[in-house]
Structure 1
Amino acid sequence: MTRVLIVDDEAAILRLVAAVLDRGGFTPVAVSSARAALAEADRAAPDAAVIDLGLPDMDGVELVAALRQRMTGPLIVLTAREATSDKIAALDLGADDYVTKPFEGDELLARLRAALRRAGRAIAADGVLRHGALAIDPARHDLRLGGERVTLTPREFAVMEALIAAGGRLVTHADLLRRVWGPAHVGDSDYLRVVVRALRLKLEADPSAPTLIRNEPGIGYRLGEV
């Protein structure tokens, strides 16, 4: 069974998350400190982790970075923090998604299952990345939607390559800007908005109500189901 590491210093939350995961068919491994989480990751290599950001012995964002060096599976942040900056920092350091406290058990299970599906997707032998009806071939600079080729500018193509590679995971504005425009432009969000607007015109059935390129205000973009 899929083993999921749970890291939270509140005993009640640990019990609740463990019960939710058990109900969802996962094997929960609960620990209450960052030190114990790192030891468990080194010892048994869990398939995924659910991480609280407010830990007594290490900031949860730092723990995300440390676990990402030890684990290839999904890291889901569970947080009561309101600050967008904390969520962005966790995502930039390797988290796959986040759930805000108080949370619904079904939402946590859905996000975990989706992250595990994304982690299990491998690049095909032909080097093409796929997400539903989307297929992108970086070597040939070719993107297709439902088998039909879509002509993109170099920056439009680079943004779509990053989003498809993420497979539905949230990609922050800063990460996209860094990859496509370079480190000097991580604050130039207007550049990204212009490109996303153009992509929606080319790819969305209704650009005014996008379902493919989804925006998480103030944080980033993710791909919806195609």
Structure 2
Amino acid sequence: MEPSDGTVGTAAGRRPTIMMIEDDQDLVAMCAAYLARTGFEFTHAGDSRSALRCLGEQHFELVVLDLGLPDGDGLDLLRTLRQRDMLPVIVVTGRGEETDRVVGLELGADDYLVKPFSLRELVARIRAVLRRSGADAASPPVIHLGGLVIDTGAHVIRAAGEQIELTPREYSLLEFLATTPGRVYSREQLLADVWESSVEWQAPATVDEHVYRIRRKLAGADVQAPRITTVRGFGYRLDT
């Protein structure tokens, strides 16, 4: 039986486990929810000491390592990891830390991300590194929410077995909201994560127009749930 409660079904038997070493609790919470929805297990450590303890006790497919840790230099932790094994590592740096990015790659990091980054970019980088490393990456998941089936591999959305025709941007917006149902996103956040843009380059009304079009198409397919709800003064969320 296929899941119908908003969980992700994958073709692979075991979901790859990602360790995130990061002390920003808000960022960790967002990444945990998004990675779970996109086919990964997730574990978090807030500092070097707890990360090393956890890495010694559990198997991981990949580490996302913030170089700015509260109990030491993330580059030192990266050196330690490279002395132990060749576990894939994506380093995370601040926007102005070009030297750290270069040193991180020289020490053997597989890729790097610059803060602030979008959740979609994080998952794309993780999948790319896992493919290159030959690790057992999860197949793109199928998300079941109410009357919708979202095939993230084929970029197809169906209701009652029939495909709903969405533009690529409409699909990306609906898929993004579907990965964290119930969470409110501002127009600015959606521009950053879905459009990879900002209010400096694109009007927030762009989001409103795409939401309107998605609602109209879902209504045309007689989809009662999930639905995109306007949270006045804040933005949008997907309700199931």
- The correspondence for 1:38, drawn from 43, 52, 56, is 52
Corresponding residue of 1:10:
24
Q: Residues of 2 paired with 1:84 and 1:21: CA distance? A: 27
Q: Residues of 1 paired with 2:31 and 2:85: CA distance? A: 20
Matched, 1:108 2:122: yes
CA contact (8 A) 2:89 2:110 kept: yes
Matched, 1:21 2:41: no
TM-score normalised per structure 1: 0.51
- The correspondence for 2:108, drawn from 62, 86, 94, is 94
- Tell me how many residue pairs correspond in the alignment: 121
CA contact (8 A) 2:62 2:87 kept: yes
Question: Given residue 115 of structure 1, which amino acid in structure 2 is its aligned partner?
Answer: V
State the Cα distance separating 1:93 from its structure 2 match.
1.0
Matched, 1:84 2:98: yes
Question: Given residue 22 of structure 1, which amino acid in structure 2 is its aligned partner?
Answer: A
Q: Residues of 1 paired with 2:132 and 2:77: CA distance? A: 22
Residues 81 and 39 from structure 1, CA distance in 2 versus in 1: closer, same or farther, beyond 3 angstroms? farther
Query: What per-residue deviation string (whole Å, max 9, x for no partner) do you get for residues 84-139 of structure 1?
Result: 11101111112100111111111111111010011018xxxxxxxxxxxxxxxxxx
Once the two structures are aligned, what percentage of the paired residues are identical?
41
CA contact (8 A) 2:93 2:100 kept: no
RMSD: 1.4
Write 1 or 2 for the structure with the bigger share of helix: 1
Residues 71 and 26 from structure 1, CA distance in 2 versus in 1: closer, same or farther, beyond 3 angstroms? farther
Tell me the SS of whatever aligns to 1:114. Answer: helix
Q: Residues of 2 paired with 1:83 and 1:104: CA distance? A: 18
Corresponding residue of 2:62:
48
Which has the higher mean CA deviation after the structures are superposed, 42-51 or 63-72?
A: 63-72
User: Which of 1 and 2 has higher RCO (CA within 8 Å, sep 6+)?
Assistant: 2
Matched, 1:64 2:90: no
Q: Unaligned 5+ residue runs, structure 1?
A: 122-226
Question: Given residue 16 of structure 1, which amino acid in structure 2 is its aligned partner?
Answer: M
Query: What per-residue deviation string (whole Å, max 9, x for no partner) do you get for residues 147-203 of structure 1?
Result: xxxxxxxxxxxxxxxxxxxxxxxxxxxxxxxxxxxxxxxxxxxxxxxxxxxxxxxxx
Corresponding residue of 1:145:
none
TM-score normalised per structure 2: 0.48
Tell me the SS of whatever aligns to 2:127. Answer: helix
Tell me the SS of whatever aligns to 1:63. Answer: helix
Corresponding residue of 2:87:
73
Tell me the SS of whatever aligns to 2:113. Answer: strand
